[in-house]
Structure 1
């Protein structure tokens, strides 16, 4: 039966499927996470003006912003590469 299944091609499809199907969304989530700061629950409890709503601190640092923008740029590049591959008639 192993002559029917091309194991190398199957492995490539599974690898690309994992990278694109799970890797790109995880990269997008990481980019968004880097661009936001953790919620400061203690400050929200001490501040009664927000009716218990959580407050967010100042803007993220330069390293986090660069990392977040890099992750989001890689996501855009992956989407553009996939679209270009499909439009060019790639199989």
Structure 2
């Protein structure tokens, strides 16, 4: 692809829509990942007794373990959400942009 073709693609309204949608979605997923992680770290630093509380019905496990595991599983799920949307909506928009440029 030549630089002029690249400039033409970047100038299309579909490309601008793709970039806008993807950035908004990535920002949402980033916040959905980082806010719980930082909250967990801040609770561990400033209120460790909250995470050290024994899990109800367990004499061994504290609340911090399942919360930490949920953070990891949640991150995997959010990654799956991104991959699904990228392979669907974002790839379809990219194909539409490229098809329009080949005409």
The structure whose RCO (Cα within 8 Å, separation 6+) is larger is: 2
Greater strand percent: which structure?
A: 1
Task: Give TM-score, length-normalised by structure 2.
Answer: 0.38
Task: Give TM-score, length-normalised by structure 1.
Answer: 0.41
Greater helix percent: which structure?
A: 2
